[in-house]
Amino acid sequence: MVQPRTAEAGGPLPVAAEGAFSPAWYRPLLHFVRGKPLGTASAVVLALMVLIAVLAPLLSPFDPLVHDNAYELQGPSSQHVFGTDQYGRDVLSRIIYGARTSLYVGTGATLLGIGLAVVIGTASAYFGGAFDYAVQRVVDTVQAIPALILLITILVILGPSLTNVIIALSIRSAMVTSRVVRGSALAVLAQPFIDAGRLLGASHQRLIGRYIVPNIMAPVIVLASINFGGNILAEASLSFLGYGVPPPTASWGGMLSAEGRAYMFAAPWLLIAPTVVLTLVVFASNMFGDALRDVLDPRLRGAGNSAAT
């Protein structure tokens, strides 16, 4: 009697009954949800964050920027669920709008960074030779400079603003991620169908765009999910030091910065709310990235590519 093939971590693969609902994406999704419960929960948390960020004007009880001198440094109450800060701004509203900042930075920097990384990495792998060597030396250098130092230097050059934070973050992550992309592209380039394409007379653009890039999407997706959490954390660190999103824009890292620290001794709730949301979002994106990587490309599991870094 032949046993149904058992999935490594999800029990037997779901078998569709006659006439059951079964579009192409349903089975892999079910597999993921069954096999990676923690990853699924993390994905839900991240989706919630996106929802909150998008619906911020509807959800937030107060305007996060409006000072209210009558209500400074109030503890949690029925009116201000998370209390107020030193200017009387509602902390809950600032947390909700802070989700917006994190989302902008997270998606913007990740998309831009990954896009650039794919371009740089595939070009480096495809053209090879001196071009590849030069690009890799620059990547080495950028990787050697600690992230925060590089980001602060770039932001000093560009000036503080949300857009510039996104640009700075994408420059760095593009450089560092292009390494992994280059590795994957090199692996794809070694395969025979690339030679077949060349013999058919495919142009450079066609070879790169149609032959290489579609085959490296799995590691790229994993890298994107890992970078998402990293970028949010980096933006928080930058805002904490005062080089990130300029005040008064709400930012979770900024809420913990030196500006408010003096008041935290009297008002500890100023500290708890941003810390909890930051931890939650970083945790969720780490877990989701790990789960995605386990499913899509276990070969990426290694010292440098874990969401743990």
Q: Which residues are near another protein by CB under 8 A?
A: 137-138, 140-141, 143-149, 152-153, 156-159, 233, 236-237, 240-241, 253, 256, 258, 261, 264-265, 268, 271, 274-275, 278-280, 282-283, 286-287, 301-304, 306, 308-309
Nearer to another protein, 49 or 212 (CB): 49
Nearer to another protein, 104 or 269 (CB): 269
CB of 196 to another protein, least distance (A): 33
CB of 125 to another protein, least distance (A): 19
Supply φ then ψ for residue 283, to 5 degrees: -55, -50
CB of 278 to another protein, least distance (A): 5
Nearer to another protein, 2 or 258 (CB): 258
Token look-up 């201000």 returns: 80
Q: How many residues are listed for the chain in this entry? A: 309
Nearer to another protein, 148 or 194 (CB): 148
Spatial distance between the Cα atoms of 2 and 248, rounded to a whole number of angstroms: 65
Nearer to another protein, 187 or 264 (CB): 264
Residue type, 138: V
Contacts with 12 (C-beta within 8 Å, 6 or more apart), sequence order: 4, 5, 6
- Structure tokens that stand for 199 in this block: 């013999």
CB of 107 to another protein, least distance (A): 20
Residue type, 177: T
CB of 242 to another protein, least distance (A): 9
Nearer to another protein, 166 or 212 (CB): 166
Nearer to another protein, 62 or 252 (CB): 252
Spatial distance between the Cα atoms of 220 and 202, rounded to a whole number of angstroms: 24
Q: What value, to the nearest 5°, has the Cα angle with vertex 259 and ends 258 and 263?
A: 95
Spatial distance between the Cα atoms of 213 and 225, rounded to a whole number of angstroms: 18
Taking residue 214's Cβ as centre, other Cβ atoms within 10 Å add up to 9
Contacts with 165 (C-beta within 8 Å, 6 or more apart), sequence order: 105, 109, 155, 235, 238, 244, 245
CB of 205 to another protein, least distance (A): 29
CB of 27 to another protein, least distance (A): 27
